[in-house]
């Protein structure tokens, strides 16, 4: 038996049962009864053969039981391919056995290819079929029923069924259905499973999926204010979190398919209804939520490394009419002492909304270049928007070069005509290698004129102000130059003559069952190699990001920064994301947390929402609260609409004060945030994550959507309601220290809700016990803040006499394309601390020290919280240079903690808990050190 896999898993086949009953009866889950079963679509398939594939997987043949013509005829023969690709990842691939069908291209999203279907054995059993009861590898076990075919996946360690597609007459769903334009498969679920993912959509009920709400995946230029509708991205992945006997088990399920789909989640079952492609399932065993994201991003691509400056604050607005306005914005932020790293332009800088151009009056090139020289000298950055639609204009070089290289999506052999901001446009076909080269050349040409530091790719769902097949109107101007600009002025007619424009099953597009080609590229349009827009539509923004990433990286070999509106599976490997057009409302403030946390699960950790809302103008109070929250988004940007009043953070003095407080703390936390981006890049770990990621066994946290963590242990508890000056925050068990005042703490003996003071300018941020947090002094710009001395915050449980803590710090030259060690341009430090009844010890372990030593970084202060006391002798050993140091040479301050809730229960002895600050240090970050002192406690 041939057995090979990336993880070299040991597979075993239990040769017990014949194919007709290849799953034990006890394995099948019962499905809930319904009073009136729905009409069945399809009669299922029978597994007629199964054998081992050369790569150690299994290949089977499925034959339709009886054709059914609802939504079209069933495909008669299917190929089943099962492979344990790693110890914790199982793939189940079901495709047409007779002809190739659309799949997500293997060169766009690299992964292993399944065996090519063999037509020679279609319709008959193999001579020596494998008879199996289960196919096991690592932590996941595959098993099946042969007629009607269904399969199940269960966890080896506890036997729990994770996915089970078995259907019977009482099920509210069908057996496997596989037609040309309608695929259906379901899984039963336990009622207590908590599901997350299946985006992009705005979920009003929180981060958990809500049963019986629509989950439609089809990338759409639809404002984020629309609830429970298909928005800009398509991510057919969910995470399932279950609590079994008080212990959490999470797993992930990805259906790698770019076609439009409805996913029906009923609470006890989940059904996929897909209008094309194949079933290509990947199951990730977890068992922790963090492990699920790790395993998922190992497949789809690790998150892109982000430049250090991208973690600073960003300011943007659609409506900066000329360069002088932009200059004033930068100067006003400086005057208000509000941090600002990046200034953005929407399309105001363009000549007639055309990509890669400058408005010669409003943004003359010499003045813009002079402005960029000045802000670059300070360390600031500049980013502009680039939409995919290329204006149809005979005097426009980008368009003419595109025509010459034949880079546009076609309809009936001609470039497909659409309308966006420049008026009539053609759309580049990023599946075409020639388009990728042309796009890179256009980026290079533009960069020579305007040395931008990143690109913002918008409208790439793709958005179209018109629908159908359009032509340029004769005898009238289009657009007129007046009005909002998004009214279709082309001459258009509906396209319904093809199966791609009018498929038999209508997904819930835009929540109203509009035609799938509505306000986008006609789905019968053709890409490179004959690929239909029908199949590739939801990948358009993904391919746009890949081409843009390649273009930016080729400029100077620097680390690219890209912000994309439309995303797909794997987009995080290339781009950051913002959540699109939100409103300046209190509800939108809440929704921003839900969407941000979902994108962390999708492997796109650099995410945030338009702070204060995109439109209309927020109230002063709301903008206060939004910058307090937005200062802790991974991607932190204020952005406003052309038709909204100005809302830069200095426009209100109260908002400016809140910004100075919240962004002031963010800039102190930049080394921590940057280390989290390194973890994201190397393990997929979200930067912002649900609280249950660190406390997965606590079920009451599974739906918590009003608080979140940065990393493992920094909890953000914002005010999300109008008129509130306190916030009810949930605290998992342990000691939590107020990051703005470390002498204040909360002890939670069990998960409890605590009411915290939150005046207008205050956001509550708490650091969990057993953590070492590296911070710096901060500043008004990340370039300066990055070079300030460090402080280490060491947190022990309150009154600790036996405790441990740890933390880490990643530093590098953030211009390098990758985040890695061993290149001479990075340093990684692990910090440790311990406390016992007699002694406290803090030490470091340094990898690749030279970079930090060359930069001269030092630790100037160590603050240890939660100690039972201090006293006795103090010593520091720096890489073997031991010495007993006189405590009087250092500034040591002891402060007793104040607890905002009951520290002790009745009858318990109250333990003293203090904070100790040791200042006046100058410990080189690049050298290992050991610091210790005796507590002097009797």
Active site residues: 458, 461, 581
β-strands 790-800, 858-867 pairing: parallel
CA distance 440 to 734: 52
Backbone angles phi, psi at 866, to 5 degrees: 95, 10
Determine if the peptide bond prior to 479 is cis (ω within 30°): yes
CA distance 908 to 245: 30
CA distance 829 to 821: 11
Backbone angles phi, psi at 335, to 5 degrees: -65, -35
The residues pairing with 830 across neighbouring beta strands, listed in sequence order, are 808, 845
387 near 355, Cβ under 8 Å? yes
Q: What are the strands, taking DSSP E only, across 836-873? A: 839-847, 858-867
Closest by CA to 404, choosing from 446, 430, 427, 434, is 434
CA distance 356 to 319: 18
Backbone angles phi, psi at 164, to 5 degrees: -145, 110
750 near 701, Cβ under 8 Å? no
792 near 831, Cβ under 8 Å? yes
CA distance 317 to 89: 44
Phi-psi domain of 869 (left: phi exceeds 0; alpha: psi -120 through 50; beta: other): left
Q: What would the two tokens of residue 726 be?
A: 């306190």
Q: What's the DSSP call for residue 57?
A: S
Residues 6+ apart with CB under 8 A from 618: 584, 585, 612, 626, 647
Residue 659 CA: distances (Å) to CA of 339, 486, 613, 624, 775: 8, 34, 15, 8, 19
264 near 271, Cβ under 8 Å? yes
Secondary structure of residue 491 in the 3-state scheme: strand
Q: What would the two tokens of residue 809 be?
A: 């710090």
Cα-based torsion angle of the residue sequence 515, 519, 524, 526 in order, rounded to the nearest 10 degrees: -160
CA distance 96 to 78: 5
Determine if the peptide bond prior to 267 is cis (ω within 30°): no
CA distance 535 to 650: 46
Buried b (16+ CB within 10 A) or exposed e, 812-828: bebebeebbbeeebbbb
Q: What's the DSSP call for residue 641?
A: -
Residue 510 CB burial class (10 angstroms; 0-12, 13-18, ≥19): buried
The greatest distance separating any two alpha carbons of the chain, rounded to the nearest whole angstrom, comes to: 96
Neighbours of 653 (CB within 10 A): 10
915 near 863, Cβ under 8 Å? yes
Closest by CA to 825, choosing from 851, 848, 845, is 851
569 near 235, Cβ under 8 Å? yes
CA distance 565 to 548: 13
């Amino acid at each position: 038996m041939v057995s090979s896999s990336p993880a070299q898993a040991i597979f075993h086949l239990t040769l017990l049962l014949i194919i007709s009953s290849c799953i034990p009866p006890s394995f099948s889950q019962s499905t809930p009864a319904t009073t009136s079963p729905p009409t069945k679509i399809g009669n299922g398939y029978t597994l007629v053969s199964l054998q081992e594939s050369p790569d150690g997987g299994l290949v089977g043949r499925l034959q339709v039981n009886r054709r059914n013509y609802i939504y079209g005829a069933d495909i008669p023969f299917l190929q089943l391919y099962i492979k344990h690709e790693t110890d914790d990842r199982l793939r189940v691939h079901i495709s047409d056995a007779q002809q190739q069908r659309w799949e997500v291209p293997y060169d766009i999203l690299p992964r292993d290819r399944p065996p090519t279907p063999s037509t020679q054995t279609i319709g008959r059993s193999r001579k020596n079929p494998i008879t199996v009861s289960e196919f096991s590898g690592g932590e996941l076990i595959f098993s099946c029923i042969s007629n009607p075919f269904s399969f199940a996946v269960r966890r080896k360690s506890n036997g729990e069924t994770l996915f089970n597609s078995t259907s019977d007459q009482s099920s509210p769903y069908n057996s496997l259905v596989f037609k040309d334009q309608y695929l259906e498969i379901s899984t039963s679920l336990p009622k207590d499973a908590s599901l997350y993912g299946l985006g992009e959509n705005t979920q009003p009920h929180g981060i958990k999926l809500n049963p019986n709400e629509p989950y439609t995946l089809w990338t759409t230029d639809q404002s984020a204010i629309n609830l429970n509708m298909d928005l800009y991205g398509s991510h057919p992945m969910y995470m399932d979190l279950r609590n079994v006997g008080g212990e959490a088990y999470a797993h992930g399920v990805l259906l790698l398919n770019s076609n439009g789909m409805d996913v029906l989640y009923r609470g006890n079952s989940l059904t996929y209804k897909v209008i094309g492609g194949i079933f290509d399932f990947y199951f990730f065993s977890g068992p922790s939520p963090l492990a699920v994201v790790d395993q998922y991003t190992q497949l789809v691509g690790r998150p892109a490394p982000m430049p250090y400056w991208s973690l600073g604050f960003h300011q943007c607005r659609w409506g900066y009419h000329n360069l002088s306005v932009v200059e004033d914005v930068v100067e006003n932020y400086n005057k208000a002492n509000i941090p600002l790293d990046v200034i953005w332009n929407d399309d105001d800088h363009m000549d007639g909304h055309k990509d890669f151009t400058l408005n010669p009056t409003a943004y003359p090139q010499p003045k813009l270049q002079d402005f960029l020289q000045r802000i670059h000298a300070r360390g600031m950055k500049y980013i502009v928007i680039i939409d995919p639609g290329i204006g149809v204009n005979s005097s426009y070089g980008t368009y003419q070069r595109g025509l010459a290289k034949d880079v546009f999506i076609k309809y009936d052999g001609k470039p497909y005509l659409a309308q966006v901001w420049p008026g009539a446009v053609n759309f580049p076909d990023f599946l075409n290698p020639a388009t990728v080269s042309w796009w890179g050349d256009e980026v290079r040409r533009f960069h020579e004129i305007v040395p931008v530091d990143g690109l913002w790719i918008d409208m790439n769902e793709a958005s179209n102000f018109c629908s159908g097949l359009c032509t340029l109107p004769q005898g009238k101007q289009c657009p007129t130059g007046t009005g909002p600009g998004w009214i279709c002025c082309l001459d258009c007619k509906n396209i319904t003559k093809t199966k791609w424009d009018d498929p038999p099953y209508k997904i819930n597009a835009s929540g109203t069952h509009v035609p799938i080609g509505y306000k986008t590229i006609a789905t019968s349009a053709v890409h490179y190699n004959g690929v239909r827009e029908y199949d590739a539509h939801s990948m358009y923004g993904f391919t746009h990001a890949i081409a843009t990433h390649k273009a930016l990286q080729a400029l100077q070999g620097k680390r690219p920064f890209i912000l994309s509106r439309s995303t797909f599976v794997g987009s995080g490997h290339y781009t950051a994301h913002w959540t699109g057009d939100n409103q300046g409302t209190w509800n939108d403030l809440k929704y921003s947390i839900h969407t941000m946390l979902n994108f962390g699960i999708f492997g796109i950790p650099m995410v945030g929402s338009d702070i204060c809302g995109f439109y209309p103008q927020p109230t002063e109070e709301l903008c206060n609260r939004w910058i307090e929250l937005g200062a802790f988004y991974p991607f932190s940007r204020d952005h406003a609409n052309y038709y909204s009043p100005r809302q830069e953070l200095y426009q209100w003095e109260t908002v400016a004060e809140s910004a100075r407080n919240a962004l002031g703390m963010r800039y102190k936390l930049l080394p921590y945030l940057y280390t989290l981006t390194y973890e994201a890049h190397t393990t997929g770990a979200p930067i912002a994550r649900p609280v249950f990621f660190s406390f997965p066994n606590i079920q009451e946290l599974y739906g918590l959507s009003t608080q979140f963590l940065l990393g493992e242990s920094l909890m953000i508890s914002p005010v999300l309601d109008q008129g509130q000056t306190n916030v009810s925050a949930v605290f998992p068990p342990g000691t939590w220290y107020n990051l703005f005042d470390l002498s204040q703490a909360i002890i939670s003996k069990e998960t409890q809700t605590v009411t915290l003071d939150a005046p207008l300018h205050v956001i509550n941020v708490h650091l969990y016990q057993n953590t070492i947090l590296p911070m710096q002094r901060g500043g008004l710009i990340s370039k300066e803040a990055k070079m300030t001395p460090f402080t280490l915050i060491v947190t022990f449980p309150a009154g600790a006499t036996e405790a441990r803590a740890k933390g880490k710090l990643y530093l590098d030259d953030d211009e390098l394309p990758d985040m890695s060690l061993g290149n001479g341009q990075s340093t990684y430090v692990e910090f440790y601390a311990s406390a016992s009844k007699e002694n406290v010890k803090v030490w470091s372990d340094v990898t690749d020290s030279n970079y930090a030593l060359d930069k001269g970084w030092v630790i100037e202060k160590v603050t240890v919280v939660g100690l039972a006391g201090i006293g006795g002798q103090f010593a520091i050993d720096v890489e073997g240079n031991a010495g007993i140091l006189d405590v009087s040479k250092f500034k040591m301050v002891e402060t007793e903690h104040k607890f905002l809730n009951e520290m002790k229960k009745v009858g318990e002895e109250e333990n003293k808990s203090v904070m100790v600050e040791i200042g006046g240090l100058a410990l080189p970050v690049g050298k290992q050190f050991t610091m210790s002192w005796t507590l002097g406690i009797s």
